[in-house]
């Protein structure tokens, strides 16, 4: 995975959109590797605790991505925080969890939010469908988001 600092050498604009573009690139490179490297643990966790295994999975890959964001001088709470997420239920192919990450710039000013959208299976951890990270400008104060309104 390319570091965020190196990414911004080619993409000098540090907007929430460019930051989320990097995060999606990193996500596309690591999500499957993280799943495969932790498959036994996550599968057993899914058997024992159900959907909670997705929180552990998100913690693993967003921990790596958040570390890159923070090392580049931005401020983002890495990993997974259940309180900063919402789950949308419906038919199995539409079940998703959205997790939001407020990102501050180097001065501590809110740059915007990155919304992780992960579709998941109610049957197993290994059959998760897809993930995407979406940009939201500003600090989001007074705004309310529902996962199923945010589409890539």
Q: How many residues are recorded in the chain?
A: 152
SS3 of residue 97 by DSSP: strand
Instruction: Give the pLDDT confidence score for residue 29 in this predicted structure.
Output: 87
Instruction: Give the pLDDT confidence score for residue 17 in this predicted structure.
Output: 85
Instruction: Give the pLDDT confidence score for residue 150 in this predicted structure.
Output: 34
Per DSSP, helices labelled H in the chain are 4-10, 16-37, 39-49, 52-71
Q: What is the pLDDT of residues 101-151, one digit of tens each?
A: 999 988 888 888 899 988 877 777 764 555 677 777 554 443 333 333 333
Dig out the tokens for 43 from the structure: 């599968």
Instruction: Give the pLDDT confidence score for residue 126 in this predicted structure.
Output: 61
CB 43 within 8 A of CB 65: no
Residue 75: pLDDT over 90? yes
Residue 28: pLDDT over 90? no
pLDDT, the chain, mean: 78
């Amino acid at each position: 995975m390319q570091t965020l600092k190196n990414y911004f050498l080619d993409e000098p604009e540090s907007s929430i959109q460019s930051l989320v573009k990097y995060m999606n690139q990193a996500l596309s490179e690591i999500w499957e590797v993280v799943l495969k490297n932790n498959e036994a643990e996550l599968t057993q966790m899914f058997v024992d605790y159900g959907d909670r295994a997705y929180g552990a999975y998100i913690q693993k890959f967003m921990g790596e991505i958040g570390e890159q964001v923070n090392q580049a001088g931005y401020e983002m709470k890495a990993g997974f925080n259940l309180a900063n997420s919402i789950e949308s239920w419906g038919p199995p192919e539409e079940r998703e969890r959205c997790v939001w990450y407020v990102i501050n710039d180097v001065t501590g000013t809110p740059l915007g939010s990155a919304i992780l959208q992960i579709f998941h299976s109610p049957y197993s951890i290994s059959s998760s469908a897809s993930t995407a990270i979406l940009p939201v400008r500003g600090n989001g104060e007074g705004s309310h988001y529902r996962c199923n309104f945010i589409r890539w």
